[in-house]
Amino acid sequence: EAGVAQSPRYKIIEKRQSVAFWCNPISGHATLYWYQQILGQGPKLLIQFQNNGVVDDSQLPKDRFSAERLKGVDSTLKIQPAKLEDSAVYLCASSLDRATPYEQYFGPGTRLTVT
Amino acid sequence: GESVGLHLPTLSVQEGDNSIINCAYSNSASDYFIWYKQESGKGPQFIIDIRSNMDKRQGQRVTVLLNKTVKHLSLQIAATQPGDSAVYFCAAPRDYGQNFVFGPGTRLSVLP
């Protein structure tokens, strides 16, 4: 079974630029999560999708971050404009259903560096 | 809201020794806890979980202990191997929704 795919793996941008990350979850997984992991910290949930609908985006900085999962499969997370403090690893995870958040499978992450 | 913390940010053990990684949580109503392992350049990987109606759960070379009185849980790794070198996170349910709060992690280094 293929795992969660993410791209790119690394990205370096200057502050105030825009960036987008892509995630393809495990086939058949209805729930998709985006996390931000700052160096030395645990992952922090940014947004959770159930199919193509948002379940939880309470910790998403909506003034600069946006995410979509239009067809209920792959997803894109965008930052516009980026700030220095956005430097982090952005992890995507998926689970079969929102009822099983403890059975999340994580992708390798995208390491973002904002200079 | 729920907060999760670890007692030590780093831990070094000799290969073959047992490792103990600790975690504290704040919400006494938390009913489920998970331990994750994160190797360098990879996403977190599920290791073991435990429900609040249990005090102990064993897996392959790993044991999780839960002390609800002091809101503390620990992950014990028996006969630690070089492949166990990673950052270990505990996670507990958030106060709302169905998601989890991760602790800051403990970096385990296995010495030859």
Q: Is residue B38 part of a domain?
A: yes
Q: How confident is the model at residue B29 (pLDDT cuts 50, 70, 90)?
A: confident
Confidence at residue B22, expressed as pLDDT on a 0 to 100 scale: 94
Q: Is residue B32 part of a domain?
A: yes
Domain of B8 in residue numbering reads as 4-90+97-102
Q: Is residue A24 part of a domain?
A: yes
Which chain B residues are Cβ-neighbours of A104 within 8 angstroms? 46
CB of A101 within 8 A of CB of B36?
no
At B81 the three-state DSSP class reads coil
Q: Is residue B107 part of a domain?
A: no
Q: Is residue A111 part of a domain?
A: no
Q: Is residue A109 part of a domain?
A: no
Average pLDDT, integer, range A16-45: 95
Which chain A residues are Cβ-neighbours of B100 within 8 angstroms? 45, 101-102
Which chain A residues are Cβ-neighbours of B3 within 8 angstroms? none
Q: Is residue B111 part of a domain?
A: no
> Based on the structure, what is the number of domains in chain A?
1
The closest CB to that of B49, out of A33, A102, A107, belongs to: A102
The closest CB to that of B89, out of A33, A42, A58, belongs to: A42
**Nearest Cα residue in chain B from A110:** B41
Q: Is residue A110 part of a domain?
A: no
Which chain A residues are Cβ-neighbours of B9 within 8 angstroms? 40
Q: Is residue B51 part of a domain?
A: yes
Express each pLDDT in B31-63 by its tens digit.
Answer: 889 999 999 999 999 999 999 999 999 999 999
Confidence at residue B6, expressed as pLDDT on a 0 to 100 scale: 66
Is pLDDT of B98 > 70?
A: no
> Based on the structure, what is the number of domains in chain B?
1
Is pLDDT of A23 > 60?
A: yes
List A residues 36-55 in contact with B (Cβ-Cβ < 8 A): 40-45, 48, 55
Q: Is residue A52 part of a domain?
A: yes
Query: How far off is chain B from A92, nearest CA to CA, in Å?
Result: 8
CATH number, domain of B26, equals: 2.60.40.10
Three state DSSP letters for A39-99: CCCCCEEEEEEECCEEEECCCCCCCCEEEECCCCCCEEEEECCCCHHHCEEEEEEEECCCC
CB contact A81 to B (< 8 Å): no
Q: Is residue A19 part of a domain?
A: yes
Confidence at residue B3, expressed as pLDDT on a 0 to 100 scale: 77
Q: Is residue A43 part of a domain?
A: yes
Express each pLDDT in B67-95 by its tens digit.
Answer: 999 999 999 999 999 999 999 999 988 76
Express each pLDDT in A48-74 by its tens digit.
Answer: 999 999 999 999 999 999 999 989 899
CATH number, domain of A74, equals: 2.60.40.10
Domain of A91 in residue numbering reads as 5-97
Closest CA to A64 of A114, A16, A22: A16
Q: Is residue B74 part of a domain?
A: yes
